């Protein structure tokens, strides 16, 4: 039985959107794979690691991953639970209009220089709106195409996304911290616990994480938890339970934090995807 479940949510020729769920049975590196088109992959649940040559990228809900056409890669799942992603393929001429030249390799073939960018909360919300709207058959084609292009534009924008720039050693350290955070989103981690797992001091960990990701580690973890809430809002009836399951101290704490990041309360967002 395949470890993948793939559902095409939209295919207009200009834009194809698929929901890809992987059970994560392959804990170590998979066999080499490649794609016949450039894919923009938005993880919204779980975590995996993508290996391109000697370059590794931790894929979780704060990241956009670029899968270049005909570029070989491998995938591993060091954390149990599998993953789920929204996979977009944009017609190449349209994609070139959305991405700056600085992000692309030189040459005639469209290929991204780096395989990941950190997206902002607005892009995370657009991922959820697009996925919930299409899977529930609430979004009409024109609306869904517009949402998808807005999502890509924001996720590739220099002002609305972040391309980590760091040495391989620092990036590897930060990626190990991300895997630890992703292993249990509801856990109230301490700096000492994470630093001990990574093998550095708490001070060094906070400094390196800030330098690589341009945000504090605690805020990165918070965005992972809230992105999980975006994923689950379609299936939870009791929002107090959802907040508690994600490690928030109370419904008011969950609701206020969610609104601060996404501009609306969990209840308001839930109504928008159930309209």
Q: How high is the pLDDT of residue 242?
A: 96
Q: How high is the pLDDT of residue 20?
A: 97
DSSP state of 120: P
Domain ranges of the chain: 4-120+136-162, 168-274
Q: Which CATH architecture has domain 168-274?
A: Orthogonal Bundle (1.10)
Length of the chain counted residue by residue: 275
For residue 199, the Cα-to-chain-centroid distance in whole angstroms is 26
Q: What global pTM score does this model have?
A: 0.95
| Nearest C-alpha neighbor of 41 from the set 11, 83, 2 | 83
With contact defined as beta carbons under 8 Å apart, do 118 and 161 qualify?
A: yes
Classified by CATH at the fold level, domain 4-120+136-162 comes out as Jelly Rolls (2.60.120)
pLDDT tens per residue across all 275 residues of the chain: 568 899 999 999 999 999 999 998 878 899 999 999 999 999 999 999 999 998 999 999 999 999 999 999 999 999 999 999 999 999 999 999 999 999 999 988 899 999 999 999 999 999 999 999 999 999 999 999 999 999 999 999 988 999 887 788 899 999 999 999 999 999 999 999 999 999 999 999 999 999 999 999 999 999 999 999 999 999 999 999 999 999 999 999 999 999 999 999 999 999 999 87
Residue 41 pairs in a beta bridge with 65, 87
Q: In the numeric block, which tokens belong to residue 248?
A: 């928030």
For residue 51, the Cα-to-chain-centroid distance in whole angstroms is 16
Look at residue 36 and give its three-state secondary structure.
Answer: coil
Same fold across 4-120+136-162 and 168-274: no
Q: What are phi and psi of 55, to 5 degrees?
A: -100, 125
> DSSP secondary structure string, 62-98?
TEEEEE-BT--BEEE-SSTT-EEEEEEEE-HHHHHHH
How many CB atoms are closer than 10 A to CB 250? Answer: 11
Q: What are phi and psi of 185, to 5 degrees?
A: -65, -30
Task: 136-142: list long-range contacts, CB under 8 Å, 24+ apart.
Answer: 136/234, 136/273, 136/274, 138/273, 138/275, 141/10, 141/12
Q: How high is the pLDDT of residue 25?
A: 83
Q: How high is the pLDDT of residue 167?
A: 83
* Helix and strand counts by DSSP (H, E) for the chain: 10, 10
Q: How high is the pLDDT of residue 164?
A: 80
């Amino acid at each position: 039985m395949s470890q993948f479940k793939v559902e095409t949510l939209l295919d207009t020729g200009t834009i194809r959107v698929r929901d890809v769920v992987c059970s994560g049975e392959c804990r170590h590196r998979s066999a080499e794979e490649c794609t016949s088109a450039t894919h923009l992959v938005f993880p919204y649940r779980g975590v995996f690691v993508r290996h391109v040559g000697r370059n590794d990228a931790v894929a979780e809900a704060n990241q956009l991953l670029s899968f270049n056409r005909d570029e070989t890669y491998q995938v591993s799942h060091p954390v149990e639970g599998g993953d789920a992603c929204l996979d977009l393929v944009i017609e190449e001429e349209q994609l070139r209009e959305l991405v700056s030249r600085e992000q692309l390799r030189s040459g005639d073939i469209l290929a991204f220089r780096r395989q990941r960018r950190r997206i902002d909360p607005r892009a995370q919300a657009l991922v959820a709106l697009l996925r919930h709207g299409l899977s529930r058959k609430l979004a009409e084609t024109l609306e869904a195409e517009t949402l998808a292009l807005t999502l890509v534009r924001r996720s590739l924008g220099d002002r609305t996304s972040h391309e980590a720039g760091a040495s391989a050693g620092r990036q590897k350290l930060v990626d190990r911290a991300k895997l630890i955070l992703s292993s249990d989103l509801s856990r109230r981690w301490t700096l000492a616990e994470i630093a001990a797992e990574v093998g550095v001091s708490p001070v060094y960990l906070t400094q390196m994480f800030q330098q690589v990701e341009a945000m504090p580690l605690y805020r990165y973890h918070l965005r992972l938890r809230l992105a999980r809430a975006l994923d689950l809002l379609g299936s939870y009836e009791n929002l107090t339970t959802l907040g508690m399951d994600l490690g928030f101290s109370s419904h008011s704490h969950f609701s206020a934090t969610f609104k601060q990041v996404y501009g609306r309360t969990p209840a308001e967002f839930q109504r928008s995807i159930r309209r």
